[in-house]
Amino acid sequence: MSEPPLKKKRTLLDFFRKKTKSNNDEPVKDKKVEIIDVEMAESKPGKSSKPAVNPVKKVLNDISTQGLGASFDGKGAQAAKTFTEKTDKILKSSFGDTFKYDETMEYNMDSDVADSQGSQDGDSVKPDIPTKKPSQRKANSDWKGKPLNRLNKIPDCMEKLPALHSTENHTVLIKVPYKYDPKTPPTPHPAQYKDGWNNDHVKMPCSPQNEYPFQGKNNKQILRKRWEIIEEALLSKIPGPYELEDIILKYNSRYFGKWNFETLKCLFTEDLTQSERNHFFGEVLPKIAKLALNLPHLCTQPIPLLKKGKTRSITLSQQQIACLLANAFFCTYPRRNAKGKSSEFFNYPSINFNSLYDGTPNCVKLEKLKCIIQYFSRVTKKMPTGLVTFTRQHVGLIDFPKWDNLDTTLRDLHVSAEGTIEDDGEGLLQVDFANKYLGGGVLTHGCVQEEIRFLICPEMIISRLFTEGLEKNESLIMKGCERFSSYDGYARTFEWKGDYDDSKTPRDDWGRLCTHVTAIDALVIHHYDRQFKGDIVKRELNKAYCGFVSLGGAKNPPHEINLSAVCTGNWGCGAFGGDKRLKALIQLMAATAAKRDVCYYTFDDERLKNDIFNIHQYLTVTNPLGIGTILNLIERYEGVLRKSRRKPNMNLFEYIVKVFDGSLENTDSEPDSPAIEREMSREMLYSKESCMGEEAVSKNSVKRQLSEDYKATTP
């Protein structure tokens, strides 16, 4: 062997480099993959024998006698709490903090979270996520403002609905004319299945063009109709979770070894009782399979994709939604599992439930599965017969209010620390604190406001099938989604608490429950001071306006007496890092422009309740100010933050009052002072730079770090 061309003197660093190289040369085995392979190898059709138990399962087995509580007969709440506490304690001692549930997990895919990196531009923002459900609203709750019973509510304030029919921008998937019948589901339209395998419609599992490679005779791969494989799989007997895994992988074979179904198996082997398992696999699951296989007979019309840039609606029956969700349960949707940027549905949220079954088991995902099972237990026993409408609402950029010029004062407010939007917002336009990809982390780890709403109202999950990621001037409005579950806790303490009866909610003339929910996605705030900048505030104003405004057409705008009040809370705060007082003021201004009053729940924050009421009184009674003036004050406050480079000792509301009562330490900060004029000049220059992008405008220009793109960055 020849000598190396140049022999260098060895150092201690070289020793470690060599060692590193040696270690890298040796393949590193993934213990998790090895466990998965063992389980799949030992899982055979027709047998429910358990495979080798991995370390997580061993820990769960040690405490499984406590149960995970909340069984489907409504019992076991205390056991659930005990099990959760023991699980967290034992898992932490066995595996360290890395296992501990984190509300921000996988947010780069399903939910956005504030960045905690520091910056010279001001204090960074860390998520402030509650861990319990707000207190239940009581008859003697200490609310302030306008009485709740004096706010406009549906159906009392609604105009008479026109006859239901399909139009260019509204697809109706049932036969019309239609009259709601509480005993009989609507008839699908057309009578025979019509395919729509193209870029403008949902690619359906039952499409003749949905083909899949299948191993035939002599190990030769052939293309088969995927629906035929799905039918064969779902018509077979599925006695347990391991067989369910095998069934799903038959028509998703490329994900063998990638999907591990650990959470799904943990639910049925470690959590539910034997009788509950037998009931699900013996009675409920066969009905879910039958419902899924009825797809070409129930959803006979191509379902349009609600793409960005256009206002468009889809109305379908609750039975059709149940059928579509049954297919999501069995992971049958094609082209929806790839996550790469070049994939066809890259800009859409996931819809197949594999991500809910997958991964290391944790208490939250198990509780999520209980909500899903509760839904299917209900609809397979008695199918609901109403309709649901999903509307993607697009507001043209030229159609937004000229915020700086609005002299309108804020509309009426009802504010309470107790209560929740979903429990106490009956008849109001309820706000979903959304991810730009609807549902956020509902099918993974996320479990905050939006995810919880989608879990207790699973019909909302189907919006993920056809709704492209929302743009900054868009919202999604859901009318008629039924609630099926009660819950307790929040984030890592979330628990399913049994059945919920939504039958008392009235229905409109189209058979839709009078529950209107608007999904609007806030910006992810990375640095505290930047959210008060003029362009950022206006983006949030526009987004809230998109969700609150009712587009009745320029020739026939709806009258304010026909518009229900907005029911909201700390939108864009928590995981997204927004300032609660700023976001409250933004929503009040947006609702005013949309001609709606506001009902606000502060999530048990008494001080915030009082602060919101007091600033509302100040801006409407004590010192009435228009929206344009309020915006001007917010921008002034941002200037104070930028100079201090840290959170000031007074919040936004305190600053607004101090500007006018003369108690600010620096009197130059009062309106119309020379300091304010100089600040306005600088802001105009900043705006000019922003318009020109990252290019240098001039050597003499005031330099600034361009604000980051605050829109959600999930794929």
Token couple for 372? 């899903």
Clarify whether 677 is annotated catalytic.
no
Tell me how far apart the alpha carbons of residues 656 and 395 are, in angstroms, rounded to a whole number. Answer: 31
DSSP H/E element including 13: helix 12-25
Query: Taking Cα atoms as reference points, which of 295, 515, 541, 510 lies closest to residue 425?
Result: 515
Catalytic one of 451, 468, 495, 508: 451
| Angle between helix 627-644 and 674-691 (nearest 10) | 90
Tell me how far apart the alpha carbons of residues 131 and 152 are, in angstroms, rounded to a whole number. Answer: 32
Catalytic one of 262, 432, 459, 474: 432
Check if the beta carbon of residue 302 is closer than 8 Å to that of residue 194. Answer: yes
Residue 315 is given by DSSP the state E
**CA-CA distances (angstroms) from residue 310 to 168, 190, 313, 393, 669?**
12, 25, 10, 7, 43
Clarify whether 270 is annotated catalytic.
no
The amino acid occupying position 232 is: E
* CB atoms inside a 10 Å sphere around CB 240: 20
| Cis-peptide into 134, omega within 30 deg | no
| Cis-peptide into 241, omega within 30 deg | no
Residue 495 is given by DSSP the state E
Catalytic one of 110, 245, 412, 450: 450
Reading phi first (left if > 0) and then psi (alpha if -120 to 50, else beta), residue 96 is in left
Residues 6 or more apart from 185 whose CB is under 8 A from it? 317, 318, 319, 383, 384, 385
Token couple for 53? 């138990």
Check if the beta carbon of residue 431 is closer than 8 Å to that of residue 571. Answer: yes
**CA-CA distances (angstroms) from residue 490 to 77, 83, 519?**
15, 17, 19
* Bridge-based pairing state of the strands 170-172 and 516-521: unpaired
Q: How many CA atoms lie within 13 A of 200 on its CB side?
A: 7
Tell me how far apart the alpha carbons of residues 149 and 144 are, in angstroms, rounded to a whole number. Answer: 13
Query: Taking Cα atoms as reference points, which of 466, 405, 470 lies closest to residue 435?
Result: 470
Clarify whether 34 is annotated catalytic.
no
The sign of the dihedral angle between the CA atoms of 379, 380, 386, 391 is: positive
Tell me how far apart the alpha carbons of residues 535 and 516 are, in angstroms, rounded to a whole number. Answer: 29
Catalytic residues: 432, 450-451
